[in-house]
Amino acid sequence: MVDAKNRLDPVPQMRFEREPQSDDPELENPLGLIDIKVIYTWNDETYLTMECKRIASTENSLALKFVRDGVNRFASGKYGPGHAFGIMTGYVICGNPDCCAERVRTTLDKEPKSETGYDRHHGWQPDDDIVNGTRHYRTRHHQEIAKNTIELIHVFVPLN
Phi, psi for residue 109 in degrees, rounded to 5: -65, -30
Residue 27 falls within a domain, yes or no? Answer: no
Residue 26 falls within a domain, yes or no? Answer: no
148-158/136-143 β-pairing: antiparallel
Residue 86 falls within a domain, yes or no? Answer: yes
Residue 146 falls within a domain, yes or no? Answer: yes
What is the residue type of 150? I
- Can you give the pLDDT at residue 73? 92
pLDDT band, very low/low/confident/very high, at 159 (cuts 50, 70, 90): confident
Half-sphere exposure of 129 (CA within 13 A, CB side): 3
Range of the domain at 48: 2-20+32-158
Total count of domains within the chain: 1
Measured between alpha carbons, how far is 112 from 141 in angstroms, rounded to an integer? 12
| Composition of the chain by helix, strand, coil, percent to 5 | 25, 30, 45
- Tell me: the pLDDT tens digits for 21-38? 555 556 655 555 667 777
Is-contact 50 16, C-beta < 8 A?
A: no
Residue 120, pLDDT > 90, answer yes
List 15's β-bridge partners, or say none: 39
Is-contact 11 2, C-beta < 8 A?
A: no
Is the whole model's pTM more than 0.85, yes or no? Answer: no
Is-contact 15 38, C-beta < 8 A?
A: yes
Query: How large is the average pLDDT for residues 108-134?
Result: 88
- Can you give the pLDDT at residue 48? 79
Residue 126 falls within a domain, yes or no? Answer: yes
What is the residue type of 122? H
Measured between alpha carbons, how far is 132 from 46 in angstroms, rounded to an integer? 26
Residue 99 falls within a domain, yes or no? Answer: yes
